[in-house]
Amino acid sequence: ELGEICAGLRPGRTSPGQTIVCDLTGVGVQDVAAANLVMARLGEAEPEP
């Protein structure tokens, strides 16, 4: 699950040659939460509650 990867509970990739594919269609609130997490990880914004 994407949440486990984002939380650091599971590796996203185990080698540089692997590609992560994620389908986040259908639930807008999940898209916003994922975008907030990405921005926070990049250091450009704090995640919204």
Tens digit of pLDDT per residue, the chain (49 long)? 778 888 889 988 899 999 888 776 777 888 888 888 888 888 865 666 6
> Strand, coil or helix: what is 28?
helix
Q: 20-34: string of b/e by CB count within 10 Å (b at 16+)?
A: eeeeeeeeeeeeebb
Enumerate the domain spans of the chain. 2-42
